[in-house]
Amino acid sequence: MADEGDSCAGRNDMKSGDGPATAARSSPPPDDGASGTTSNARRGRNKRKRKRPFSTTRPKEGNEATATPRGDGSLFNGLIVALSALESKHDHPRDGVTIHDLVNDANVDDPYRNYKTLKQLLTTLGATVSPQVHKRVHCLISTECAVRNLTQRVRQAYRRNVDVVDASWVKDCREMGTRVDIGNYLCNDLVKCLLAEKDVRDGGSTEKIRASSSYDVGHVDDNAGWSIPVELDCCCVCHENGDDACPWCTGSQQCNLTLAMKEKAAKTCTKNPE
């Protein structure tokens, strides 16, 4: 009975909170000043990291000339063009050169007549310059000198129904900040007239080629274009393995080799009767 009383008293002590287990569970954690300082510093760094992407990036002082004007980079966005210009002796393009530098370059008389400067200018404005004239090219940007000389790309563009546009269209589009109507800058009729004049000077070679491609169909000989038939020797395998009873070569219709062998044997018998 004494043991039971002691155990009941122990359980009552545990419920009332006087026991050691209850005291350990209810005691607050030790106050660590160092860990609190570390967690506060980490939170401060995270806040600073979150704010960095929202900061506005500003160009450095002294580099205002290298900044591209707003909207210039997308003026010819999605446009695929080819170029034809005869002036390409200058050392362009250069890295870090802006549109303002290209247009106002003292070493170039007219940047819109130079192939390399015109190519870099179009690329800076968002256009894609193709090295060849194909069906996906929207137009051929050509200088007046290239049109007058009927360069290879000008002739290719005319044959493939690609519009030939004067290079001044690029200049006007850049100065106005928008794509100007391309109809006033087309050179298709001029190219057609120049090709006709060149054809007359050359003696109508182009017309002769076109006329030769279309001719009247007349009487055609059935034997025209055929060679004289040549009879070939028999190619039966019996002539290789020595088969003298071949039904195709020694039958009712003997082949030419069998006839030749019999004729040779008959001549030999007449010469040597024994």
pLDDT of residue 80: 93
Average pLDDT across each block of 10 residues of the chain; the chain has 274 residues. List them in order.
48 48 49 56 56 39 35 80 76 48 52 86 91 92 92 92 93 90 93 90 62 50 66 78 80 81 80 63
pLDDT of residue 138: 93
Torsion over CA: 76, 188, 133, 107 (sign):
negative
Q: Answer for the pair 185, 165: CB distance below 8 angstroms, yes or no.
A: yes
According to CATH, where is 3.40.50.10190 located in the chain? 68-201
Task: For the chain, report the end-to-end CA distance as a whole number of angstroms.
Answer: 155
pLDDT of residue 235: 81
3-state SS, residue 180: coil
Q: Answer for the pair 108, 117: CB distance below 8 angstroms, yes or no.
A: yes
Q: Which residues of 19-33 are buried (b: 16+ CB within 10 A; e: fewer)?
A: eeeeeeeeeeeeeee
The topology (CATH level 3) of 68-201 is Rossmann fold (3.40.50)
Residues 6+ apart with CB under 8 A from 130: 80, 81, 82, 136, 137
Which long-range CB contacts under 8 A does 65-74 form with residues at least 24 apart?
A: 65/98, 65/100, 65/101, 66/96, 66/98, 67/98, 68/98, 68/99, 68/124, 69/99, 71/177, 72/99, 72/124, 72/125, 72/174, 73/124, 73/125, 73/126, 74/126
Whole-structure pTM value: 0.45
Distance separating alpha carbons of residues 72 and 112, to the nearest angstrom: 16
CA-CA distances (angstroms) from residue 82 to 92, 119, 123, 130? Answer: 18, 9, 11, 5
Residues 6+ apart with CB under 8 A from 244: 238, 250
The secondary structure element, H or E, covering residue 81 is: strand 80-84
Q: Answer for the pair 90, 117: CB distance below 8 angstroms, yes or no.
A: yes
pLDDT of residue 223: 63
Q: Which residue shows structure tokens 């009927």? A: 150
